[in-house]
Structure 1
Amino acid sequence: MPSQNPLVSDRLVDFLLFEVLDTEALLTLPAFADHSRETVGLYLSAARRLAREVLFPAYKPMDEAPPRFEDGRVHVHPAMRALYPRLVELGVLNATRPPEVGGQKLPLTVAALASSYLMAANLSAYGYLGLTTGAARLIESFGSDAMKEQFMAPMYRGEWTGTMALTEPQAGSSLSDVKTRAIPTDEGHYLIRGSKIFISGGDQDITENIVHLTLARIDGAPPGTKGISLFAIPKLRPEGDRLVPNDVHVAGVIHKIGWRGLPSLALNFGEEGHCRGWLVGEPHRGLSYMFQMMNEARLMVGMNGVATASVAFHEALEYARTRPQGRPAASKDPSLPQVPIVEHTDVRRMLLRQKAIVEGGLALLATCAHLTDLAEHAEDAPARRRAFLLLDLLTPIAKSFPAEKGFEANALSVQVLGGYGYTSEYLPEAWLRDQKLNSIHEGTTGIQSMDLLGRKVPAANGEAFMALLEEIAASAARARAAGVEPELAQRVEGASMAMREVTLHLVGLGQKGDVEGMLRHSAHYLDLASTVVIGWQWLNLATAARAGAASNVRPTDAPFYEGIQCAAQYWIRTELPRVGHLSQLCRSGEDSYARMQPDWF
């Protein structure tokens, strides 16, 4: 029997696309001239079917039988041999890319929301393609024509996969300590020697080849991040009309608690002295190039966080609607029939919190995708710049909020199922395991917090931050005009002003040279900013719901609009008050964990 879990709400996705973000206006841009609401609908329908009918049934078997390392190579779950070509056929690899590289030039706003279904259904299966797209995009952006033909084209066709190979055992997230060597030759390539770890999809048996987009240091390069270059290193290198081994070896498989369908590996390059890599772009600019893939990956991680929380929320919701237990609190008659647990107020509290996290997070990721489309394709330069600034500022939040609060939402899903949730026979425990990785990879939450406060907020004299405050003020004005309860708009505006004041204080510390004081509470600042930004998103959703309820002619939509407005009320009234406490904490200079010495623990 097919699962009752929709993975992601179709009505919510359509609402975001056509009532909140006005995708029809986006489709009028010349870049998207080949698309219409009809083609958008066709792509979404195909993604929904594939996710629900093909990917989701394979999730549990893939979780229970992770990849094996045998005879020198990694063997993934057999289901991937059927899933991978179906995802390629859908167009996942190059849906947003131009026709010149075989793409459909679909707006990222559409493609990102379509991907939420695929991730919710089977995040590991989607991971192979998400990484491949990012790797191919690097070569599309910075590689030579020859590299595009040799490496990018087969990745976009789905014949080869791609990875990002950054982390090294001794360096971790500190990329300035990368030691992998690139030794120049007279033959147009470099000889690569070094080791990488935690390389997702670093080996598999579903395609004939894998291209590793790798950070390495050319012999004689300056120290630190300024000496890092980017290389394309294939597992099998082309020689004439055949592929031969390129001295890339799997050193071990990482045994993960989640994401079990996508192998994470330790790789060795150049054990035998003949691993060849090809320089992408200019020497010593590798980290700046890689930031393109890293930022795209951070938004992909954010969407994974939303999707993993979403599928668990819908599982908990269905369980709560169908699981009879207990009677209303006011009932004194034990002979009365039991009621579904969704009738109990505390269960609805847990479900509403999940809804607020999931749908607020999805709105933020959709907004970031929309900003990406505008940053690349808006018709005037000021609009493109404003979209880019906002996107850059929101990326650390869009990566971290779904991971951190998504983990809380996943824990609530387990809680709703009670004792059944705490068993491996039911899926919520697996999604809880999956979710934890999202706060770790592509830059931990702590790294995102320092990036937000230390780099993104003060950049360009705070231009991006001021643009965000302007967007929030404009949203509040629209909310009032639409008839949203004035108190909600007032609370969001008030929280944004509190964020402004604490930001000025902290940036001021940095400008005076007290960088440690500025960043001491960066994690709390990220929490504060995330809470405000999601409040802003919920105000936008409430405004669109109010307008939809006023003009909609379908009675079946009334519960949807009421649910949106109720969730907006919940987030704004119960979460935004935390901003006051977090603001005070950030301004206070409280230094307990800065003062704490290692030997005091």
Structure 2
Amino acid sequence: MPEYNAPLRDLRFVLHEVFDAPGLWARLPALAETVDAATADAILEEAAKVTGGLIAPLNRSGDEEGAQWANGAVSTPRGFRQAYATYIEGGWVGLSGNPQYGGMGMPKMLAVQFEEMLYAAGSSFALYSALSSGACLAIDAHASETLKRTYLPPMYEGRWAGSMCLTEAHAGTDLGIIRTRAEPRADGSYAISGSKIFITGGEQDLTENIIHLVLAKLPDAPAGPKGISLFLVPKIKVGADGSLGERNAVSCGSIEHKMGIKASATCVMNFDGAEGYLIGEENKGLAAMFTMMNYERLSIGIQGIGCAEASYQNAVAYARERIQSRAPGGPQARDKAADPIIVHPDVRRMLLTMKAMTEGGRAFASYVGQQLDLSKFSEDPAEKQAAENLVALLTPIAKAFFTDTGLESTVHGQQVFGGHGYIREWGQEQLVRDVRIAQIYEGTNGIQALDLLGRKVVANGGAALRQFTGEIRAFAAADVPHREALLDAVQRLESTTDWLLQRASENPNEVGAASVEFLHLFGYVAYAWLWSRMARVAASKRAEDEAFYDAKQATADFYFRRLLPRILGLEASIRAGSDPLFGLAAEQF
């Protein structure tokens, strides 16, 4: 039976030693009296207990039972309701929520580490909470004061949940063609009518109410994405005093039968003149919803890290115990019939790839969290703007690179088990299935790559990218570990960007042809910078804990020598241009 134990030592290493998060919090007035190193450690300790002891034991049984739908109602697997009740007692839904409405006000750097634990313990369970946190973020940023006071406290408390209702059967990426309509009513509310699909947690039995954030169009709305508005639509109507009233005209038509995350209810939601309330301004709903979507994109990226970490833990434990054949250099366990498979080079290749990519992703997620904290809490306008630029640039990388490499890592973990990795009770095949969706929802990874290259790089002439690589170059001005390889990688990223900027001005197909490879090139270079940072800290503190810090330096060495060279193939593929993609006519496929 697989187990999950939060990697607290490594989480603290990233938070305290690599990024000095407590030092950052101390200089931000909004956080200085809210959180310090001791508070953060206490939260992480408690989170480890909740995720490892409460949620992880439900992961396999939840997958086997799945969410069930009957007569419009959804029931979650056995144990979920009781676990969720215990979970919300700790205030975890409102961990980084606005304290003015009952949230805990913790920084995002801390929240991303908690989210990793949550997804590692059980992706299906995690999603119910993640959607609520994202919905709260959108309401807090864009809704009226009345809506905030009414809806945020019970949502942060976890008594009410949230959902995000965008997709329709004919409208996924192209939300400008949605058909859901909003008719104004005399009392200031709106009648919402239409159907939405793929709605995570659209119906469930964990909370007493569900607050749907719904994209819809007003009768006189302009065509396309500029005509979309955002509405708050409760499952159960809410009185002015916050009390629950009658059922709204919202129903769950069915749930999807999926490859993975089976305990998460993925719903078809029907709105039949349901009572809703405008969030933000008319026809500007997409911008408001993107507040939630960008949160969810980082969160779903972290799903990739969490699943990879869980798979790595299982694989290492198995590789230390499973005996098969002798080591190439001769017997290592002479008292046994064979050696543990961890002695074999190919098994080590897989385990080290998992370790290097997961720990690199953990550092990158914390860096993005740092920028989110600066963009929200900094009182220096220049610092705040610089952080906002980086958040916009790095969010699609976090979502897509974390999940692409997360799938790779879970497959490696399954492969370490051999045939047992394909068998249900070992847990590895579930992690492969569960993480697979993360490359698809919240905007497919191909769309993330287009967003990165088209909107975040080409559209501003590479200015935001140069801001990021400038930070790397400033770091590498000193004598840092793997300096030459790092600077070579940065140069390749910058020169490839310049080449693409020129080509994109001549051929509109170049952006789409290069976008996925470019995102991966960017991701590997970013991880190289973070591994150099981690190796520098490890070298300076080696005497304090030789085993831990030596492992960091060895993993950094593996990353630079065995994984970073992947950028050479990515660069060559990008520079091949778009012509090879159009060598066939449509009928020749």
**Structure 2 runs not aligned, ≥5 long:** none
* CA positional deviation for 1:522: 1.1
Aligned residues between the structures: 584
* CA positional deviation for 1:212: 0.7
| Of 259, 282, 286, the match for 1:257 | 259
Give secondary structure in 2 for the equivalent of 1:191.
strand
Determine the structure 1 residue equivalent to 2:486: 492
| Of 517, 520, 529, the match for 1:527 | 520
Q: Distance in 1 between matches of 2:492 and 2:225?
A: 36
| Of 535, 539, 554, the match for 1:542 | 535
* CA positional deviation for 1:508: 2.4
Matches within 5 A, 1:7-18: 8-18=6-16
CA contact (8 A) 1:164 1:199 kept: yes
CA contact (8 A) 1:233 1:276 kept: yes
Determine the structure 2 residue equivalent to 1:266: 268
Q: Please identify, of 591-600 and 492-501, the stretch whose mean Cα deviation from structure 2 is larger.
A: 591-600
Matches within 5 A, 1:319-358: 319-331=318-330, 337=336, 338-358=338-358
Q: What is the letter of the counterpart of residue 539 of structure 1?
A: S
* CA positional deviation for 1:294: 0.6
* CA positional deviation for 1:4: 5.4
Determine the structure 1 residue equivalent to 2:508: 515
Q: What is the letter of the counterpart of residue 199 of structure 1?
A: I
Give secondary structure in 2 for the equivalent of 1:438.
helix
Q: Distance in 1 between matches of 2:268 and 2:202?
A: 8
Give secondary structure in 2 for the equivalent of 1:402.
helix
Determine the structure 2 residue equivalent to 1:396: 396
* CA positional deviation for 1:333: 11
Q: Distance in 2 between matches of 1:367 and 1:456?
A: 18
Give secondary structure in 2 for the equivalent of 1:168.
coil
* CA positional deviation for 1:152: 2.3
Q: Please identify, of 96-105 and 421-430, the stretch whose mean Cα deviation from structure 2 is larger.
A: 96-105
Determine the structure 2 residue equivalent to 1:581: 569
CA contact (8 A) 2:113 2:366 kept: yes
Matches within 5 A, 1:21-100: 21-28=19-26, 29-32=28-31, 33-100=33-100
Give secondary structure in 1 for the equivalent of 2:69.
strand
CA contact (8 A) 2:72 2:254 kept: no
Q: What is the letter of the counterpart of residue 50 of structure 2?
A: L
How has the CA–CA distance of structure 1 residues 3 and 498 changed in structure 2, closer, same or farther, with 3 Å as cutoff? closer
Q: Distance in 2 between matches of 1:378 and 1:490?
A: 34
Q: What is the letter of the counterpart of residue 502 of structure 1?
A: T
Give secondary structure in 1 for the equivalent of 2:426.
coil
Q: Please identify, of 361-370 and 581-590, the stretch whose mean Cα deviation from structure 2 is larger.
A: 581-590
How has the CA–CA distance of structure 1 residues 21 and 335 changed in structure 2, closer, same or farther, with 3 Å as cutoff? closer
**Structure 1 runs not aligned, ≥5 long:** none
Determine the structure 2 residue equivalent to 1:564: 552
* CA positional deviation for 1:571: 1.7
* CA positional deviation for 1:453: 0.4
Q: Please identify, of 182-191 and 215-224, the stretch whose mean Cα deviation from structure 2 is larger.
A: 182-191
Q: CA RMSD, aligned part only?
A: 1.8
Q: Please identify, of 572-581 and 68-77, the stretch whose mean Cα deviation from structure 2 is larger.
A: 572-581
* CA positional deviation for 1:461: 4.2
CA contact (8 A) 1:247 1:275 kept: yes
Determine the structure 2 residue equivalent to 1:197: 197
* CA positional deviation for 1:517: 2.3
Determine the structure 1 residue equivalent to 2:135: 135
Determine the structure 2 residue equivalent to 1:387: 387
How has the CA–CA distance of structure 1 residues 590 and 111 changed in structure 2, closer, same or farther, with 3 Å as cutoff? closer
CA contact (8 A) 1:350 1:416 kept: yes
What do residues 341-380 of structure 1 show as CA deviations (whole Å, max 9, x unaligned)? 1122221111001101111111111111111111112231
TM-score (normalised: structure 2): 0.96
What do residues 122-142 of structure 1 show as CA deviations (whole Å, max 9, x unaligned)? 121121111011112211111
* CA positional deviation for 1:54: 0.9
CA contact (8 A) 1:175 1:225 kept: yes
Determine the structure 1 residue equivalent to 2:495: 501
Q: Distance in 1 between matches of 2:114 and 2:492?
A: 36
CA contact (8 A) 1:5 1:318 kept: no
Give secondary structure in 2 for the equivalent of 1:560.
helix
CA contact (8 A) 1:142 1:289 kept: yes
Q: What is the letter of the counterpart of residue 483 of structure 2?
A: A
CA contact (8 A) 1:47 1:115 kept: no
TM-score (normalised: structure 1): 0.94
CA contact (8 A) 1:83 1:125 kept: no
Q: What is the letter of the counterpart of residue 15 of structure 1?
A: F
Give secondary structure in 1 for the equivalent of 2:541.
helix
* CA positional deviation for 1:455: 0.5
Determine the structure 1 residue equivalent to 2:220: 220
What do residues 403-448 of structure 1 show as CA deviations (whole Å, max 9, x unaligned)? 1111111011011111111111210000000010010001111101
Matches within 5 A, 1:228-247: 228-238=228-238, 241-247=243-249
